[in-house]
């Protein structure tokens, strides 16, 4: 058997804020699919003992560490908040490492395909490293209502995030598959289950 037969193909899962990416991701995990999201990978690369954390401490000083040796994210955020050059330095350090972390983790999956969840899959260009793109789509009124209910944030804040994200039509333009998450969770799960069965028939993400 060749390695190609055992390395999963990658499904990129994306959607706007509050569209239901996490809810969809949970269902894939329940179905036994290997999955990682962008936030998880961003945390892993700065765990104690990882080279990125050492570089950050060397650059910003030990004040960015908590007493237990973990990165003090709030302290670091404070340091880069008002300093675009420092923010850029940090991004240039972390972005490639996070990318490597994501795709090496996905490659270890034992399921026929693996899922990468990112709100910025299209914007970041990372969709090019996936074999197929699934967009979770939802009417904007529902998107805003669900985000408000989840985050207890202001309507203005949600609008600001929406403005910063890719317009819905552009995201849909990149989709191979679309799930419209405008029903209840049971309806979402049924759609994911159906896609899962379809994905199991694919080789390398293609029919
Ligand atoms: P995202 O990860 O895309 O930001 P979430 O999966 O967190 O979105 O969904 C946003 C909120 O809406 C969460 O509180 C989630 O539980 C809820 N939600 C998602 N899908 C549905 C659905 N089909 N019916 C009811 N609530 C939902």
Six-digit token pair at 186?
Answer: 């049971």
Residues in contact with ligand 1 by the CB-under-6-Å rule are 15, 17-23, 146, 150, 181, 183-185, 188
**CA-nearest residue, atom 19 of ligand 1:** 20
114's enclosing H/E stretch is strand 113-117
Whether 5 maps to a domain, the answer reads yes
Residue 83 CA to ligand 1 center (angstroms) comes to: 34
Round to whole Å and give the CA distance between 14 and 133: 8
83 with 148, same domain: the answer is no
DSSP per-residue letters across 146-182:
HHHHHH---HHHHHHHHHHSPPHHHHHHT-SEEEE--
Which ligand 1 atom sits nearest the alpha carbon of residue 136? Answer: 3
Six-digit token pair at 203?
Answer: 């080789």
Residue 54 domain boundaries: 46-110
187 with 146, same domain: the answer is yes
Whether 127 maps to a domain, the answer reads yes
Round to whole Å and give the CA distance between 188 and 135: 13
Whether 195 maps to a domain, the answer reads yes
Boundary (domain end) residue, out of 88, 110, 132: 110
- As for how many domains the chain has, the answer is 2
Sign of dihedral through CA atoms 33, 38, 44, 50?
positive
Angle at 48 between CA 102 and CA 53, to 5 degrees: 75
Residue 167 CA to ligand 1 center (angstroms) comes to: 19
One pLDDT digit (tens) per residue for the chain, 207 residues: 444 458 999 999 999 999 999 999 999 999 999 999 999 999 999 999 999 999 999 999 999 999 999 999 999 999 998 899 999 999 999 999 999 999 999 999 999 999 999 999 999 999 999 999 999 999 999 999 999 999 989 999 999 999 989 999 999 999 999 999 999 999 999 999 999 999 999 999 988
118 with 105, same domain: the answer is no
52 with 17, same domain: the answer is no
7 with 71, same domain: the answer is no
Six-digit token pair at 140?
Answer: 């904007």
Instruction: Tell which one of 12, 17, 18 to mutate to probe ligand 1, the residue whose CB is within 8 A of the most ligand atoms.
Output: 18
170 with 202, same domain: the answer is yes
120 with 207, same domain: the answer is yes
Residue in this structure with the two tokens 């949970």, named with its chain if needed: 26
101 with 125, same domain: the answer is no
Whether 175 maps to a domain, the answer reads yes
């Amino acid at each position: 058997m060749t390695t190609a037969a055992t390395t999963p193909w990658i499904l990129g899962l994306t959607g706007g804020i509050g569209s239901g990416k996490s809810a969809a991701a949970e269902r894939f995990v329940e179905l036994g699919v290997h999955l990682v999201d962008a936030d998880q990978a961003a945390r892993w690369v700065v765990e104690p003992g990882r080279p990125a954390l050492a570089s950050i401490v060397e650059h910003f000083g030990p004040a960015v560490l908590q007493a237990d040796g973990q990165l003090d994210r709030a302290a670091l955020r404070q340091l880069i908040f008002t300093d675009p050059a420092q923010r850029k330095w940090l991004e240039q350090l972390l972005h490639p490492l996070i990318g490597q972390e994501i795709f090496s983790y996905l490659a270890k999956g034992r399921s026929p395909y693996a899922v990468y969840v990112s709100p910025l899959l299209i914007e970041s260009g990372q969709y090019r490293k996936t074999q197929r793109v699934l967009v979770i789509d939802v009417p904007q009124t529902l998107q805003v209502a669900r985000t408000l209910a989840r985050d207890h944030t202001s309507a203005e804040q949600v609008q600001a995030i929406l403005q910063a994200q890719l317009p819905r039509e552009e995201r849909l333009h990149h989709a191979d598959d679309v799930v419209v998450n405008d029903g209840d969770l049971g309806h979402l799960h049924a759609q994911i289950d159906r896609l899962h069965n379809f994905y199991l028939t694919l080789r390398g993400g293609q029919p």
